[in-house]
């Protein structure tokens, strides 16, 4: 029986969940996969967490050298989050030939090249299934189940916090502020929710997933990012009128080597599978040139769902004599021409205008001058001489839409532009 020594860096929510799974599943893992996993050391300063799990304190310390200098430890799982000290500890572990397992999407998206360089020198492995979409095995699927395809598109809901907030607004009529407070009360959102609600968390994940899907580095700097804090309940209600649901989407596309990647709130048709993903659940919609459309759905966060992905990586690493390399993660010589920033979609536009003859014609004319055609127009009843106009466009590009809106918003007859949101089909 192959005995594998493992170290855990931290006993936070996911670290504690991982510990519990490794203990409860120990015999099943040993019987089914032929590896005897032993937790040899844990880095943790909060002894209340240690005692709560009935962990032998003799294997607990705050000194990374106790892990680095133990030759029987071959896998290091990290749960600190953030960049430091996680980055330094993982680099040192790789330099010692120890494979690493992490759920740290920020670290991995920003320092993948550095981690891969250190790992390739010693042959150690990089495992990061839990970094994207929690317990959903999307990374393993992209790596090991889609070899017969060129992946052409990824479209997903990859942040549970924002999906919970938008679900509360859509299903219960909550405003953004109240929905955020409820998410914080339930533990879905941090006290400082910026990483989630401003889209950064989704951007980290999209960078990682796109790089894997296309075999070409999609750096974080090439991911357009926009959050949900400006979403108004009125937008959601109008969306319902047109059979649309709003979600924070992480989208990337590969058009014959030309890649686009963006995170933004967008309407999708109610019949789209992603529209039914509610609460804190996540899903990724993958399109391959041969398999067609696939969807991966499940819990995107939490101690046991994410711990499940961590344990899967630990077992996977323990059974490999040679670890996968990621040479494309080292490629910093990408060209701006490889990435499309002038992406195209439909647009939902809500604005207030003077309710008088010729106003609608003037606005529609500006759209036409910029090559933008309209599929849907709706006018809300006059309110004191001002009416609310809703337009949904045909597919157009960002530059044309921006140029048209810059002209429209300064018209004397336009009292204000309330919303410009994308529509994805």
The pLDDT value given to residue 330: 86
Strands in 158-291 per DSSP E: 224-225, 244-255, 258-269, 281-288
How many C-beta atoms lie closer than 10 Å to residue 412's C-beta? 8
The pLDDT value given to residue 275: 98
Nearest Cα neighbor of 218 from 228, 210, 226 is 210
Distance CA 42, CA 76 (A): 10
- Domain CATH code at residue 355: 3.30.70.260
**Pairing of the two strands 292-299 and 281-288:** antiparallel
Residue 311 lies in a domain: no
CB 284 within 8 A of CB 159: no
Does 212 share its domain with 179? yes
Distance CA 49, CA 13 (A): 10
How many C-beta atoms lie closer than 10 Å to residue 271's C-beta? 9
- Domain CATH code at residue 210: 3.30.360.10
**Pairing of the two strands 35-43 and 151-157:** unpaired
Nearest Cα neighbor of 303 from 149, 134, 137 is 134
Does 287 share its domain with 154? yes
CB 233 within 8 A of CB 169: yes
Residue 103 lies in a domain: yes
Does 158 share its domain with 174? yes
The pLDDT value given to residue 342: 94
**Pairing of the two strands 244-255 and 35-43:** unpaired
The pLDDT value given to residue 333: 64
The pLDDT value given to residue 39: 98
Does 77 share its domain with 204? no
Distance CA 62, CA 83 (A): 18
Residue 314 lies in a domain: no
Phi-psi label, residue 135: left if phi above 0, alpha if psi -120 to 50, beta otherwise: alpha
Length of the chain: 425
CB 180 within 8 A of CB 165: yes
Does 118 share its domain with 195? no
**Pairing of the two strands 35-43 and 60-61:** parallel
Q: Mean pLDDT, 10 residues at a time, over the chain (425 residues)?
A: 95 96 97 97 97 97 98 98 97 98 97 97 98 95 95 97 97 96 91 96 98 95 96 96 98 95 98 96 97 95 93 97 92 80 96 93 96 95 86 98 98 96 97
The pLDDT value given to residue 397: 97
The pLDDT value given to residue 38: 98
Distance CA 248, CA 268 (A): 10
Decide: pTM greater than 0.85: yes
Rg, Å, the chain Cα set: 24
Does 419 share its domain with 292? no
205 an active-site residue?
Answer: yes
3-state secondary structure of 283: strand
Distance CA 322, CA 124 (A): 8
CA distances from 390 to 308, 352, 403 (A): 45, 9, 18
How many C-beta atoms lie closer than 10 Å to residue 228's C-beta? 24
Q: What DSSP element (H or E) covers 373?
A: none
Sign (positive/negative) of CA torsion 204, 205, 210, 211? positive
Does 143 share its domain with 272? yes
Distance CA 163, CA 246 (A): 9
Distance CA 424, CA 166 (A): 16
Residue 316 lies in a domain: no
CB 367 within 8 A of CB 374: yes
At 269, phi and psi to the nearest 5?
-60, 145
Write the DSSP string, 306-357.
HHHHHHHHHHHHHT-SS----GGGG-----GGGB--S-EEEEEEEEEEE-ST
Does 143 share its domain with 77? no
CA distances from 6 to 39, 54, 101, 313 (A): 5, 18, 10, 12
Domain ranges, residue 363: 344-423
Does 268 share its domain with 415? no
Distance CA 312, CA 320 (A): 13
Does 158 share its domain with 120? no
Residue of 205, 217, 247, 253 marked active site: 205
Residue 334 lies in a domain: no
Does 192 share its domain with 216? yes
């Amino acid at each position: 029986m192959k005995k594998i020594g493992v170290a855990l860096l931290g006993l936070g929510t996911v670290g504690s969940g991982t510990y519990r799974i490794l203990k409860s599943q120990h015999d099943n893992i040993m019987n089914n996969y032929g590896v005897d996993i032993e937790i040899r050391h844990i880095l943790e300063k909060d002894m209340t967490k240690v005692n709560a799990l009935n962990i032998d304190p003799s294997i607990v310390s705050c000194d990374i050298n106790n892990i680095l200098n133990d030759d029987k430890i071959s896998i290091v799982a990290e749960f600190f989050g953030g960049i430091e000290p996680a980055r330094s500890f993982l680099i040192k572990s790789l330099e010692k030939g120890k494979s690493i397992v992490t759920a740290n999407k920020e670290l991995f998206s920003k320092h993948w090249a550095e981690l891969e360089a250190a790992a390739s020198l010693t042959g150690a492995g990089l495992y990061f299934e839990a970094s994207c979409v929690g317990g959903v095995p999307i990374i393993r699927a992209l790596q090991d189940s889609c070899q017969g395809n060129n992946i052409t598109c990824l479209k997903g809901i990859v942040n549970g916090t924002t999906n919970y907030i938008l679900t509360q607004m859509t299903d219960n009529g909550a405003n953004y502020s109240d929905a955020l407070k409820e998410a914080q009360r339930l533990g879905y959102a941090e006290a400082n929710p910026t990483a989630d609600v401003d889209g950064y968390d989704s951007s980290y994940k999209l960078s990682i997933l796109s790089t894997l899907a296309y075999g070409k580095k999609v750096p974080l700097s090439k991911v357009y990012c926009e959050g949900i804090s400006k979403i108004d309940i009125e937008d959601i209600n109008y969306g319902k009128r047109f059979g649309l649901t709003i979600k924070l989407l992480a989208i990337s596309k590969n058009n014959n080597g030309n890649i686009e990647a963006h995170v933004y709130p967008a309407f999708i048709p109610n019949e789209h599978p992603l529209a039914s993903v509610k609460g804190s659940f996540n899903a990724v919609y993958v399109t391959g040139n041969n398999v067609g459309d696939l969807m991966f759905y499940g819990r995107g966060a939490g101690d046991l769902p994410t711990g499940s992905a961590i344990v899967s990586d630990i077992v996977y690493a323990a059974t490999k004599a040679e670890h996968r390399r990621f040479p494309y993660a080292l490629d910093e010589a990408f060209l701006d021409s490889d990435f499309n920033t002038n992406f195209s979609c439909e647009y939902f536009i809500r604005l207030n205008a003077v309710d008088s003859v010729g106003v609608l014609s003037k606005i529609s004319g500006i759209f036409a001058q910029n090559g933008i055609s309209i599929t849907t127009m709706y006018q809300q009843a006059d309110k004191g001489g001002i009416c609310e106009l809703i337009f949904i466009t045909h597919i157009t590009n960002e530059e044309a839409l921006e140029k048209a809106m810059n002209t429209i918003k300064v018209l004397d007859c336009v009292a204000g532009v309330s919303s410009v949101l994308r529509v994805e089909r």
